[in-house]
Amino acid sequence: MERYDYIIVGAGSAGCVLAYRLGKDTRKRILVIEAGGDDRATIVRMPSALSIPMNTRRFNWGFVTEPEPYLDGRVMNLPRGKGLGGSSSINGMCYVRGNPMDYELWADHGAVGWRWSTVLPYFQRLEHATDMGVLRGHGGPIHVTRGVEANPLYQAFVEAGVQAGYARSANMNDLQHEGFGPMEMNVKGGERCSAAVAYLRPAMARGNVRVVTHAQTTRIVTEGRRAIGVEYGRKWQIIKALGDEVILSSGSIMSPAVLQRSGIGPGAELQKAGIPVVHDLPGVGGNLMDHLELYVQQECTQPVSLFPHMSLFGKARIGLRWLLRRDGLGATNHFEAGAHIRSRAGVSYPDIQFHFLPLAISYDGKSLAKGHGFQVHVGTKRSKSRGWVRLDPSDATKPPRVQFNYMSHADDWREMRACVRLTREIFAQPAMAAFAGRELAPGADCTSNDQIDQFIKDKVESAYHPCGTCRMGSDAQAVVNPETMRVYGVDGLRVVDASVMPQATAGDLNVPTLMLAERASDLILGTHLPVAETAPVMVDGDWQGQQRSAKIALDLNGADTAAIFARERAMTGGITYS
């Protein structure tokens, strides 16, 4: 057995950041345990190939949900990254910080110290943005670029949003998140800039970070209520590693599963699975949330979409150019324009996100329209539905059971219907008139609430953003102390990944996860960056009375945001978790 200062379980986005930041002190010995293998593959490095690693057993755990009771019993696909870089090696590379109000909401939910003004410096520390902006960082490990936006459909979509009365955003990651505008991606030199590339490899190069791959962590080893190491299986052996600190960074599905297999979680559930209870911690595995999305697809009447490039010959040309030059259509994720809007009056900041794509195809690449088309991936960002992650009581070593209870709250239906109807209104604007043909999905005959609801049940998909299963807070259901990242009731054990988020952010989750790990690394080291002197929080001044505005100009402070959340809860029936 070897002994380490830190044992990090999981080499996903958060684990890579921790290895890099904690390993800067080369006197510290760090072990990173990863169940998957190496991430070095062309299909991972090439941005436009993003759907391929997502559909392989090498890079994807291949999880599925339990039958979802509010979606007519559908079993939903739940890709999770497996291998160095975790989900940052198979995701869509969309670089979205979220709305500043997200972090005000975290603080409102009990995550002390996680306000916008305290997290902004960590966003700036992690990024190397090509766009210059008031709130951007330019020296960090994650390279952030924009696409060339050569396709006319991108500009048409943004103009259509402005024509519909929404704000224009010069950059959703700078002063104004709300509105229509360009999207950014974590791509460097035409290649995916994953957490493994940006953080883990530089950490390993120092010599004090050891990474063990194809190693499945079976449990956290405890003495009484103190974590003293981990046990993992590798090459038909069970190996024990001892550490002064164990940091669980296995993601929102596996972090609660590892805790539960270690006897830390809801006592009654553990007993059902035959696990001796080390610490009865009821919140472990609860509060599971996700982002759902629909594809609203339109026929394109002009031959400007990406459809011709989807043939074998077209893909070969893209691939060859990328291999030779690292540019062209292979060097982008194709999500080069997007938007964040509010579903209705009385919602203070965006709860709907659009990813625009100049092609009509499913996210996993398995279905393609038979001609030129375009679409938005549209979905709500603050669903009130909550689910769980639990061990399989028949065999606790099997993949955990996962049920999101998607669409179990009435407001979720109201907001998803708004996604469809607001998208149709945007696509009907003059800017899209030169391109918009017939509606491919849901279809022109899908108009009533009942029809739209059935379309949602049949076609809604996960946006692959699970979070919340070991959330920060101070109430009885909280799992992690937000000021230390320590698991309540167990010494020497911390959790750092998206599972600790009290609420999903208004956008893709990878960048908030990187930020979270950046700040958590400082909390572990007992330090912190200074609070940002300039950290504006922009909200529509008439959010209570209108659903959209061309001008987002109300700059808030912490007292203002707390009052807004109180008013919003009164108007909408609550925005808190259950």
Give catalytic residues, as residue numbers: 465
8 A C-beta contact, residue 132 and residue 125: no
Which residue matches tokens 């057993």?
A: 57
For residue 379, what are the β-bridge partners? 353
Whole-number Å distance between alpha carbons of 167 and 549: 6
Give per-residue burial for 327-364: e unless 16+ CB within 10 Å, then b: ebbbbbbbbbbbbbbbbbebbbbbbbbbbbbbbbbbbe
Among 3, 4, 8, 2, smallest CA distance to 493 is for 8
8 A C-beta contact, residue 537 and residue 104: yes
Burial class (CB in 10 A: 0-12, 13-18, 19+), 210: middle
Three-class SS of 355-388: EEECCCECCCCCCECCCCEEEEEEEECCCCCCEE
Among 126, 150, 267, 285, smallest CA distance to 198 is for 126
CA distances to 17, 104, 319 from 180, in Å: 31, 23, 31
Overall residue count recorded for the chain in this entry: 578
8 A C-beta contact, residue 127 and residue 145: no
**Could you give the 3-state DSSP secondary structure of residue 390?**
strand
Q: Report the run of H or E that residue 188 belongs to, with start and end.
A: strand 187-188
Whole-number Å distance between alpha carbons of 270 and 261: 8
Tell me the CB-side half-sphere exposure of residue 26, using CA atoms within 13 A.
Answer: 6
φ, ψ of residue 62 to 5 degrees: the values are: 75, 30
8 A C-beta contact, residue 169 and residue 179: yes
Other Cβ atoms closer than 10 A to 102: 25
Whole-number Å distance between alpha carbons of 44 and 214: 18
φ, ψ of residue 384 to 5 degrees: the values are: -95, -5
